[in-house]
Amino acid sequence: MTDSTDNINRLKREIVKASWMAKEGHIASAFSVIDIIYCLYNNLDNFKFILSKGHASLALYAVLADRGFFDVSEMFKFCQIDSMLGGHPDATKIPGVLASTGSLGHGMPMAVGMAMGLKILKNTHRVCVLVGDGESNEGTIWESCLIAATHKLDNLSVIVDYNHSNDRAISLDNIEEKFRAFGMDTMTIDGHNQEDILGALTYHSTKPVCIIANTIKGKGCSLMENNPAWHRKHPSNEELDIIMSELS
């Protein structure tokens, strides 16, 4: 556990540096999901992953670089005109990215189609898609749940990054009950606990699985945690020093 914490903090430092250099990026959203993406790529082999909440791209880029899909130096070209790493993932440019996402609500239907295709081909890979709680306002999320349940896509895991950033707009109330009502086998976990995350990702059901991951936006940084001002904000030089110190 200590090793994973150290590694995740190292990746967070890379995310912050990339955002600081680019003067761009959604750091707090990346910190919300980094534990989940790290656990997925470091513990499972037989999966295909889609980051539907594409604005959290820096978390995905940091993990992909860490796993050798491209050199970590690419992180520090983030959002430069000649960089393959844009504000949202582009599957036509970035090794390891399976779907171009960013327009919220698109990743989940793509994941459902991918899971359906794999079943038809009798391919044993599992599809994991990570969506945001705010993204759950999109009708495509619920339409996708109905399709996944109807076709018994037991090779699909939907991970909801429930960092409560949506609470200021629309109340989701009991989101677990909502996904269950749409035919998903649903559970709630601590989205920053590696054991919880791994247990949920390796859980098998006869239904598509929905994992409600309770997370903290900006996790690990006192300036960012649950602070709406940091939804899209790069650190100043002074803020950079504070953040890096906390993550050391």
Interval 7-60: pLDDT, tens: 999 999 999 999 999 999 999 999 999 999 999 999 999 999 999 999 999 999
List helix spans (H) across 46-138.
57-66, 107-120
**Rounded to whole angstroms, how far apart are CA atoms 41 and 150?**
29
pLDDT tens-digit profile of 53-89?
Answer: 999 999 999 999 999 999 999 999 999 999 999 999 9
Q: What is the pLDDT of residue 206?
A: 97
Q: What is the mean pLDDT of residues 123-140?
A: 95
Radius of gyration of the chain (CA): 17
CB 244 within 8 A of CB 19: no
- Residue 2: pLDDT band (50, 70, 90) is low
Q: Is 95 helix (H, G, I), strand (E, B) or coil?
A: coil
Q: Could you tell me which of 165, 161, 172 has the C-alpha nearest to residue 225? A: 165
Q: What is the pLDDT of residue 18?
A: 98
DSSP H or E run through 35: helix 27-43
Q: Specify the number of domains making up the chain.
A: 1
pTM over 0.85? The answer is yes
Expressed as residue numbers, the domain containing 22 is 2-246
Q: What is the pLDDT of residue 175?
A: 94
Q: Average pLDDT over the chain, rounded to whole?
A: 96
CB 75 within 8 A of CB 86: no
Q: What is the pLDDT of residue 165?
A: 85
Q: Judging by DSSP bridges, how do beta strands 47-51 and 209-214 pair with one another?
A: unpaired
**Rounded to whole angstroms, how far apart are CA atoms 101 and 173?**
26
Domain harbouring 180, CATH code? 3.40.50.970
pLDDT tens-digit profile of 147-160?
Answer: 999 999 999 999 99
User: Which residue type, as a one-letter code, is found at position 63?
Assistant: V
User: Which residue type, as a one-letter code, is found at position 38?
Assistant: Y
For tokens 């914490």, name the residue.
Answer: 5
